[in-house]
Amino acid sequence: MIWVIGDIHGMFDPLKRLFAGIRKREYDGEAVEKIIFIGDYMDRGPSSREVIDYILALEYETVFLAGNHEDMAIRFFEQDEKYLRDFGNQWFPNGGVDTYESIFDAPEYGEMLADIQKCRDPFISGDHCDTFKGRELPKKYEDFIRGVRYTHREEIPFNGTTLGVSFFHGLPRWDQTLSEQRVVTYAQFEEYRKQERSYYGLYTPATEQFHPTRERDRPWPLSIEGSFLWGRVYNYRDGYGGDIVIHGHTPTLGYEKYFLTRRRENLVEDYASQFESYDAGGGLPFLFSRGKGAGYSQRCSSREDAESESSRNAFFNCGEGGALEAINVDTGAVFGVALTALGLSTETLEQGQLPLLTAFTSGNNAAGRRPLARTIYVRALGSPGNVAIRKERR
């Protein structure tokens, strides 16, 4: 089994509980092939040091993707002149101060921490927040942050062929293929960004038009915020070339506000229904399909009524269906919802199943409780079908 873990953000307790669930399944005979982390291990939460110590000590094969928070930290380490000149040190006000407080949790660092704490507000922080000298992290933590990879892809044997699964921290750009965006190191990411773009704009699916934000014929380098590290908009027009994209970055609890109030005018009704029917507080990953009328409901047909009522199923893609295009596994651990682990294996995929472990961070399911084990049932994976989500056990 490949397990994919969403944005942790310094939340150590739910991370430990997720691995208790993974190890329980391993004890019951389910082998762990590797663990893929979607990025954003640190910042905002209280225990960034404990999180990094823990995942570095894992005995499993691991893939550590870069999140936008790791990228901000690397730019601070590198003293990226253009980045600091244009934006200032954005890492500190976006949770970097919390990471420093976790790593330097000792009295002798009190003066340094007091100085850094002034940098929480980007509007009053001043130039002293841009300085890395004298604030170096212990080598273990800096090496980990610098060593993250920016993208990853798996080819999983599936019904006599392979299923491509691409992993990005945010959503890939709609105006490039996935292969054009697959870079591994920070240096490669910088070279990728320097490629000139003759067009840069926002795709509006409601009118199927591109709206330029800059002059159409003038070449512009790709901004950091315009890359897959920060991407929040699904490719409603073309999909992802047959791959399923698994990503994080946008906490799913923000979908209701972000997509339905700020961007409703840009969503055709077929796509808006997916966000309208999504339970942002339920701790489930968000599943995206371009199928008309896709969304969550209690049942898809009367034949499933009894099963739905007994197991509290929810169903996805009850309308005309559509291929599963993307899964968001950032279920808002640091914002009081849950940390998610999603399972992938040939056996479960061919059975139309995606195992799911959910460690809630607030409410009756938090504070030391075992993770909630559920299964996402995908009918006709990769082609029009329905997705059912079943709660199995605590």
212-226 residue pLDDT tens: 444 443 445 667 888
**Helix then strand then coil, % of the chain, to nearest 5:** 35, 20, 45
**Quick one: pLDDT band at residue 253, thresholds 50, 70, 90?**
confident
State how far the Cα of 80 lies from the Cα of 194, in Å rounded to an integer: 14
CB 241: neighbour CB atoms within 10 A?
A: 13
State how far the Cα of 317 lies from the Cα of 301, in Å rounded to an integer: 12
Model's pTM, two decimal places?
0.87
pLDDT tens digits for range 117-132: 989 887 765 678 998 9
What's residue 347's pLDDT? 94
Sequence-ordered strand ranges (E) for the chain: 2-5, 34-37, 62-64, 152-158, 161-167, 196-197, 201-204, 209-212, 220-221, 244-247, 286-289, 296-297, 314-316, 324-328, 338-344, 353-360, 372-378, 387-393
Q: Are strands 353-360 and 372-378 parallel, antiparallel or unpaired?
A: antiparallel
pLDDT tens digits for range 17-63: 999 999 999 999 999 999 999 999 999 999 999 999 999 999 999 99
Which helix (H) or strand (E) element contains residue 269? helix 269-276
State how far the Cα of 45 lies from the Cα of 51, in Å rounded to an integer: 10
DSSP 106: S
**Quick one: pLDDT band at residue 312, thresholds 50, 70, 90?**
very low
CATH (domain of 188) = 3.60.21
Query: What is the total count of domains within the chain?
Result: 1
Residue 313 within a domain: yes
Residue 41 within a domain: yes
Residue 94 within a domain: no
What residue numbers bound the domain in which 356 lies?
2-67+148-393
Residue 123 within a domain: no
Q: Could you tell me what percent of the chain has a pLDDT over 90?
A: 51
The answer to whether the CB of 304 falls within 8 A of the CB of 318 is no
Residue 249 within a domain: yes
- Which whole-number Å values give the CA distances from 287 to 274, 376, 380, in the listed order? 8, 10, 15
pLDDT of residue 83 exceeding 50: yes
Phi/psi at 29 (nearest 5 deg)? 115, 0
155 burial via Cβ count (<10 Å: 0-12, 13-18, 19+): exposed
**Quick one: pLDDT band at residue 314, thresholds 50, 70, 90?**
very low
- In DSSP notation, 188-244 reads HHHHHHHSEES--EEEETTTTEEEESS-TTS-EEPPSTTSTTT-----TTTTTTTPE
State how far the Cα of 345 lies from the Cα of 4, in Å rounded to an integer: 11
Q: How far apart, in Å, do the first and last CA atoms of the chain sit? A: 20
Buried/exposed code over 276-286 (b: 16+ C-beta within 10 A; e: otherwise): bebebbbbbbb
For the four alpha carbons of 92, 93, 95 and 101, in that order, the dihedral sign comes to positive
Residue 116 within a domain: no
For the four alpha carbons of 298, 304, 308 and 313, in that order, the dihedral sign comes to negative
Residue 73 within a domain: no
Residue 78 within a domain: no
The more confidently predicted of residues 308 and 51 is 51
Instruction: Collect all residues with Cβ–Cβ distance below 8 Å to 140 and sequence separation of at least 6.
Output: 52, 56
